[in-house]
Structure 1
């Protein structure tokens, strides 16, 4: 159950700072709270020991324990259900563990305001999903302010499954802990790269075949392909309107940014790391060549003229109605949708394409999600009165029993075992109530949309992609090198605010200038002034902050 008042939250924070666990890195640790709590046998510092944690036995509660959970259901949940309480896997989990979850469900697209209000008032839930992403200042500030629990002593003693995963999985600990070693969440874990490969480039395969071309692998081959599509008038309307279609995101195009890897950098809003050096794409010298190429494509009509402004409906319409020859998009929302819309046309086909090769000949990915073994996770608020039980409940989700439940559902209902392999039943694949695969999986199996700390099964990811084009796309996209993706980094409150203030202005400026250069509104002759302006706006300060944080963890 949650606590309602801010004064109590402040008292809890004071207790945290003065607890017997001051050896835990000197930050906001926590005393052990729960029905069977004991400080005996805890680690003397933030490091986990090799000693086995206490095994979890079910039920975790026999007296109707209720925990509150701040979550953001995806549209596939809310479109056909009231919320998480109607998911079969959550109902089964309550039956097995004896723990009832009272869901507080907020907007999936923009939960920041409600989450920050919750933390500022102290009216916190017991568990919060993705607090490290959406709360102001991130995980480190929440820990420093005593609002969420440093989980190290609890994992050491009460979380055998996560403790084992940390010990056996290189890189996992760094993605769920701050630079001073405090673990802040129970994560969703995507071990297999294929479960992270949700988006990428795709091309009209039927047009490629007509042109006698192979899938492009370099930026020059992309140019040749798009030019050929126009010259051959693939859609037969007598106009040279066949183009690369893009969708607008906050005045710019994240889709076009993906072509920047061909010039040895990651463009867009994110910083990246190369050879141990933290970089910002728009501040790299090579950014000029990338922008110049996009400007050439635009001037020749190879880029969608509405690349920076159009919404998803316009984007989809162009791909379905033979204007788009290629695009960057998602597996289900784009590839699956486009193929379904043209299912009556035996010629219409799509094929995945890799990111264009970098100058070193390698294929790199520019999308942060590809590099994240840990995209999401659950933090425990300091006002939670049942932390030990909460830790056990969250850790149980990594057990073999819960892993099967939250990936596949219930045997005999949503899945069956055939020749030793799990496979979904028609309840999921051909739902009698007309639910799509994703909708049926959400209701009965969880799959990859349960917002729970689980290890995602790659077989589930592939099983829910019904089309061979989708499965082939995932298998291709996941092969890209993720070494340029900047791992999670953490800062104190002052540095966090400094970075945010500087980057907010820089991102707006870069987006506006990128559009002007690509559209020919501004001459490339002013590019040196553009990068000087980035320097004047403070980009080198941000880079220095990130470099120091990166070095503290990864360049020791």
Structure 2
């Protein structure tokens, strides 16, 4: 199917989805009026900040519906058609008086559907997205009329979120723009232990068979992958020393040169990895691995199902994946194979003996994800009240643990998951929990609870992986909370849309040999022609302002 036909089909799907969303937003809209106060400057009907127990419910005086655009997580899509089928949402509707009508884009078309939705101007009440990654940043998302500034709404109707920000100034610094604009209700991970959620993983049993240790340096990695290739410890005859479901995993090895595949910081100066001199030796190394069959020849086109089949088929020796959705799931799928063992591998050492971790949210606990309220919503008051639930104790527990007595129970003051989650007959604990609540799904807008992670990491290898990944310092990570101004965002989007496309294309061409590395200087010159240096300067100015917040 060509791109034009694909777009037309996507537009049809979008129109159908938005008709549903539009139907959900009619009938209960309120005109903008000054709220009644309690004599102390607070809205009389605003929910009181809940230090414990339930907030003031219901949130509305009559049944209300809100539409919510959010990607349907694969942990849910295998068994359900919508988040509406998770047990917490009928419960929340009953308690709050607000029904959530989910608009889920078709799997694999999330970005295209989001762009089409924005272009159409037909927006639901609430939109889940990584707003830092919006072309031009959150200021441009507000300037484009996709989402609205939330400060007044938060002041009037979201006392719990406001209190959380005031109690956590380090997080507040990251989730606001330079001018103090609140653009979304965010997902945050306050405790650092929760931030190490993905990284390099390796077959420990394969290492044992070839008599080698977990690799530390790039030379170690080369030796291990060569041994996997030559000795075939999986015994399939079709060994893939390093594999992944997309080309991003290979880029993790840029950390061995102290670089990221994007913007990063060195001694206060902003850098763009694919524009740095050390990018060429990185490409040279990965191309050598690719030419020698140490990397899956289909690494750029393997989808998640194909990747899963290669893992469970004992073909892949090392890869990069999530802690739960990757390592935990594979250990669960292979639990009947006593030989299957995995280990989390620390980021590779640089030549001067340092380790750098560039995984998002490791530095600040905020990765840019959150739920914004659209400029087309006529129910902004109801939407912000509903989102504020995530920062009440009651809502925090629901979104992290589910419904008491169903997916968890209190045991000596600890929210203990039930056997329905921890001992599900066919699902991993993470996937089982995803039948009840959104604790590990797209669309989160609350502080993720460390007690969730403590219970879902059921395998020793998972518990050891996080500390291994934490050996890499996040000091060079570009803070996710940095936000360009509207004008800067427009320039940045114009430049980086072209740059990113070119860099991605050339990465594949260099690795696969479609373009010789002798043309690297031409590639670098092309980036300068595309004004990548101006993009770096914009990011530098935004970073400098961020430091002064």
State the TM-score, normalized to the length of structure 1.
Answer: 0.81
Displacement after TM superposition at 1:36 (Å): 3.6
Give yes or no for the alignment of 1:549 onto 2:542: yes
Following the alignment from structure 2 to structure 1, what is the Cα–Cα distance between the partners of residues 81 and 291? 49
Secondary structure of the structure 2 residue equivalent to 1:273: strand
Report 1:204-283 matches (<5 A). 204-235=203-234, 242-247=239-244, 249=246, 253-267=247-261, 270-283=262-275
Following the alignment from structure 1 to structure 2, what is the Cα–Cα distance between the partners of residues 393 and 38? 21
Q: Specify every segment of 5 or more residues in structure 2 that has no aligned partner in the other structure, as ranges.
A: 1-19, 50-54
Distance change (3 Å), C-alpha of 1:37 and 1:103: farther
Distance change (3 Å), C-alpha of 1:451 and 1:305: closer
Distance change (3 Å), C-alpha of 1:479 and 1:165: farther
Displacement after TM superposition at 1:247 (Å): 3.0
Equivalent residue for 2:498, pick from 500, 505, 508:
505
Secondary structure of the structure 2 residue equivalent to 1:171: helix
Does the 8 Å contact 1:217/1:354 carry over to 2? yes
Which digits, 9 at most, give the CA deviation of each residue in 1:456-497, with x for residues without a partner? Answer: 112213423433323332343245322322224434555434
My pick for the range that moved more, 125-134 or 193-202, is: 125-134
Which digits, 9 at most, give the CA deviation of each residue in 1:166-196, with x for residues without a partner? Answer: 1232432233222322111111221223433
Following the alignment from structure 1 to structure 2, what is the Cα–Cα distance between the partners of residues 197 and 181? 28
Report 1:408-423 matches (<5 A). 408-423=401-416
Report 1:129-144 matches (<5 A). 129-130=128-129, 132=131, 137-144=136-143
Q: How many residues align?
A: 515
Following the alignment from structure 2 to structure 1, what is the Cα–Cα distance between the partners of residues 267 and 548? 11
Displacement after TM superposition at 1:448 (Å): 2.1
Aligned to 2:281: 289
Secondary structure of the structure 2 residue equivalent to 1:128: strand
My pick for the range that moved more, 180-189 or 73-82, is: 73-82
Aligned to 2:419: 426
Aligned to 1:48: none
Following the alignment from structure 1 to structure 2, what is the Cα–Cα distance between the partners of residues 341 and 413? 25
Aligned to 1:93: 92
Q: Specify every segment of 5 or more residues in structure 1 that has no aligned partner in the other structure, as ranges.
A: 13-30, 43-51
Displacement after TM superposition at 1:338 (Å): 3.6
Following the alignment from structure 1 to structure 2, what is the Cα–Cα distance between the partners of residues 262 and 122? 44
Displacement after TM superposition at 1:148 (Å): 3.1
Secondary structure of the structure 2 residue equivalent to 1:215: coil
Does the 8 Å contact 2:229/2:241 carry over to 1? no
Displacement after TM superposition at 1:263 (Å): 1.0
What's the RMSD between the two structures over aligned residues?
3.5
Displacement after TM superposition at 1:131 (Å): 7.1
Give yes or no for the alignment of 1:496 onto 2:489: yes
Which digits, 9 at most, give the CA deviation of each residue in 1:260-285, with x for residues without a partner? Answer: 11111113xx2222222111112111
Does the 8 Å contact 1:35/1:386 carry over to 2? no
Aligned to 2:335: 343
Displacement after TM superposition at 1:207 (Å): 2.0
Distance change (3 Å), C-alpha of 1:352 and 1:33: farther
Following the alignment from structure 1 to structure 2, what is the Cα–Cα distance between the partners of residues 187 and 334? 24
Following the alignment from structure 2 to structure 1, what is the Cα–Cα distance between the partners of residues 278 and 301? 25
Does the 8 Å contact 1:416/1:423 carry over to 2? yes
Equivalent residue for 2:449, pick from 437, 457, 468:
457
Aligned to 1:514: 507
Distance change (3 Å), C-alpha of 1:325 and 1:66: closer
Following the alignment from structure 2 to structure 1, what is the Cα–Cα distance between the partners of residues 113 and 519? 42
My pick for the range that moved more, 129-138 or 337-346, is: 129-138
Report 1:136-175 matches (<5 A). 137-175=136-174
Distance change (3 Å), C-alpha of 1:409 and 1:196: same
Distance change (3 Å), C-alpha of 1:109 and 1:138: farther
Secondary structure of the structure 2 residue equivalent to 1:423: strand
Does the 8 Å contact 2:47/2:158 carry over to 1? yes
Does the 8 Å contact 2:509/2:515 carry over to 1? yes
Following the alignment from structure 1 to structure 2, what is the Cα–Cα distance between the partners of residues 129 and 440? 23
